[in-house]
Chain A
Amino acid sequence: MNSIDSKGRILVVDDDASLAEMLTIVLRQEGFDSQVCTRGDRAVAEFRDYKPDLVLLDLMLPGKDGIDVCKEIRAESGVPIVMLTAKGDTIDVVVGLESGADDYVVKPFKPKELIARIRARVRRLDQPVQESLTIADLVIDVAGHAVTRAGQAINLTPLEFDLLVCLARKPWQVFTREVLLEQVWGYRHAADTRLVNVHVQRLRSKIEHDPENPEVVVTVRGVGYKAGTSS
């Protein structure tokens, strides 16, 4: 299955065989390799086996809940996870995002919309730039995808890394949630700003000395977020 010109490998975890197959077809059309897993309890094993660049994860799965699968994958890897959910407005979305998903797509979605989401998450693979940034007391090696504080490496998921880099590149600018959605998630139209809130919280829990009083990613009330000044 692994073609040489593949844009990436995607693990599709969905119990609906037809939908899974359709996803495979659409993904192949767009140049992605994919593998289908129809059971929640086998998802993690297949993930280890297949080593995908991105996981499409349905929330309602037989064997094991999608949320648990998401947590387990996130525990061992920062690979992007995009949730497929039938309930776009419920607490499920927030729970899914908090369990580590990077983004979500509400069924029924348009194939192009899904592809845009996937591209936004795997595009960083194509653009390694030699660059080093500092934000507060953190040093970011953009090409090496590493964040260090006083020589100590901090483990971030690619999305969290992108978010941090986005803020760090223009420390003078206040980013609204909508702008962040566009630049980090690749949304062209206004979307769910909960995505930003949840991921900023997750990012803070990893990089802040005191997540209650953030110094690296600062909230600008009523506007959005900006990078904290180097102290």
Chain B
Amino acid sequence: MPRRSVSSTVRRGLTFWRRSVQARVVASTVLLSAIVVGVVGWFLLQQTRDGLVDARVDRAVAEATDETNQARTRLAALPGTDDDVSTQLRQLADPILQRAEVRGFSVVLAGPVTEEPIDVASAGARYSTDLDLDSVPASLSAHFTESLDPAWTFTTMRYVDDADRPEIAGVAVASAIQLPADGKYYTLYYLFPMQQEEDTLALVSRALLTAGGLLLVLVAGLTWLVTRQVVTPIRMARRTAERLAAGHLEERMWVRGHDDIARLATSFNQMASSLQRQIRQLEELSRVQRRFTSDVSHELRTPLTTVRMAGDVLHDARNEFDPVTARAAELLQTELDRFEGLLSDLLEISRFDAGAAALELDDINLIDVAHRVVDITRGLAEQRGMTVTVQALREPVLAEADTRRVERIVRNLVSNAIDHADSGPIVVLVNGDDHAAAIAVRDHGVGLAPGEAALVFNRFWRADPARARTSGGTGLGLAISLEDTHLHGGWLQAWGQPGQGAQFRLTLPRRAGQPLRHSPIPLVPDDVEAL
């Protein structure tokens, strides 16, 4: 659980990072500034430290030299030569030790110098009592095996007193001095702590850190402000564009001032206005056209009714006519039927185009629909010497749909199959599952040439323009079927191969409005692979 919340937080953060230009600009600016500030700060700190240490070393060496010179003078001024070594050593060291205590540095007197490096810790005759003798660096004591010249080095000073003073960096200066009593050289180590320097350095570091931090905050704030000024109009433009895309064509950006942003907004608004104008124009055009189709269809109805009635009167009386006139009356009748069919199909299409078609949903059994359609089309099929059978792979096959429309789709598919199946039976397959229901109409006719499967649903499209239209189809049947299917949120697809017949498949969601993912019946019939 915590891991998931962490990962989701990370994801949210990443999304924010990807989406926000402002966040990226601010972050990268701050990062860059931090690097620059860090480098500059580090350089300054180095300079300051070097300066401080150099000065301290100079002072330490000077002081040590001074002390050593005074000690030499003191030894030279000693009366007589009968004093023993330890007395002379005391006389040498004590004044220095006293002064060291007053002035805050430490002193170690060790010796005598031999060919071997001496261990200061054991050979330290006199030293400042609070100093840990390990503070004297071995390299410095080793120096005197080769030379008696003064030398200095850095060291870490440790104390052994009760105050528990922390270790501190220091400068160790060493000089060799000859004791008159035995003529041997002894070494004097002066250890100067760099407490003051460290304090100064800490102060400078703190100041630099504070300054750097404040600078970064300033940079972040500035960048945030600047990007905000640019990003805010962009975000506004995005929102406006989104609302425009959602169909709110009146949406405009707010123009203020005359800067680049204002000009962007002005151009944006001009674009929106131009789009709006064109969309309105297209809408108006298509509305006028749809209206025209609908009006024409309606206007045709009244005269057609009159013609229809006149035709019926003539048709009923055809037995009293001579054969030619009687045949003419019959032709008039059949063509009137066709005309009527075409008109009602046109009206249906114009209704779809106007978006005026609405579903009347009900739970229907597609098997019942298939049987009804087969009953209705039996006459036509028998006339052509064909059989239409229903093959249900499951019972019942339910779908929430508009019976009238589904029946019309299936009727169109079956009459289409009867029209194009030259031989062989026509099978209406019905199958369904929990998510979808499907009806497929399989014929063994001429089939469809490659690419035709996409064209069959076009209005007034014909596979072969020269082909006779025998069942009186209007050329709008499949187009209407497709519209009906879309109204249900379903699929209507065609498959066909030359010589292998065709299959039209209608798939409907089990519940209206559910998205379709698959169809319970394969689009390509199973028997095709076997061939």
Contact = CB atoms under 8 A, between A and B. Distances in A.
Interface stretch (A17-25, A46-54, A117-125): A17-25
Given A25-B313, A26-B313, A89-B351, A110 B308 contact: yes
Interface residues of A, number: 17
A109 interface: yes
A108 B303 CA distance: 8
Contacts of B313: 25-26, 29, 111
Contact of B304 (A23, A29, A108, A111): A108
Interface in B316-354: 340, 343, 351
Nearest to B339: A108
Contacts, number: 45
Contact of B312 (A16, A19, A87, A112): A112
B306 A18 contact: yes
B310 interface: yes
Interface string A51-70: 00000000000000000000
A22 B301 contact: no
B309 interface: yes
Given A107-B302, A108-B305, A112-B312, 5 more contacts: A19-B306, A86-B301, A89-B351, A108-B308, A111-B312
B184 interface: no
Interface in A136-187: none
Nearest to A105: B305
A60 B351 CA distance: 20
Contacts of A112: 312
Contacts of B310: 22
A83 B310 CA distance: 20
Interface in B268-321: 298, 301-306, 308-310, 312-313
Most chain A CB neighbours (cut-off 10 Å) among B301, B303, B310, B340: B301
Most chain A CB neighbours (cut-off 10 Å) among B298, B306, B310, B343: B306
Contacts of B312: 26, 110-112
Nearest to A85: B301
16 contacts: A16-B302, A16-B303, A18-B303, A18-B306, A19-B306, A22-B305, A22-B310, A23-B309, A25-B313, A86-B298, A86-B302, A107-B305, A108-B304, A108-B305, A109-B308, A111-B308
A18 B305 CA distance: 10
Contacts of A16: 302-303, 306
B96 to A, nearest CB: 117
Given A89-B351, A108-B340, A26 B309 contact: yes
Interface of A: 16, 18-19, 22-23, 25-26, 29, 86-87, 89, 107-112
Contacts of A23: 309
Nearest to B297: A86
B306 A22 contact: yes
Contacts of B301: 86, 107-108
Nearest to B404: A190
B298 A87 contact: yes
A107 B304 contact: yes
A21 B526 CA distance: 60
A111 B302 contact: no
A14 to B, nearest CB: 8
A148 B351 CA distance: 46
A16 B306 CA distance: 9
Contacts of A108: 301, 304-305, 308, 340, 343
A195 to B, nearest CB: 15
Interface in B379-429: none
A22 B309 contact: yes
A43 B444 CA distance: 59
A107 B340 CA distance: 10
Contacts of A25: 309, 313
Contacts of B309: 19, 22-23, 25-26, 111
Contacts of A110: 308, 312
A115 to B, nearest CB: 10
A87 B302 CA distance: 11
Nearest to A193: B360
A55 to B, nearest CB: 17
Nearest to A89: B351
A22 B311 CA distance: 11
A15 B477 CA distance: 33
Nearest to B304: A108
B288 to A, nearest CB: 19
A20 B44 CA distance: 109
A19 B351 contact: no
A203 B48 CA distance: 106
A109 B305 contact: yes
Interface in B80-95: none
Nearest to A84: B305
Nearest to B340: A108
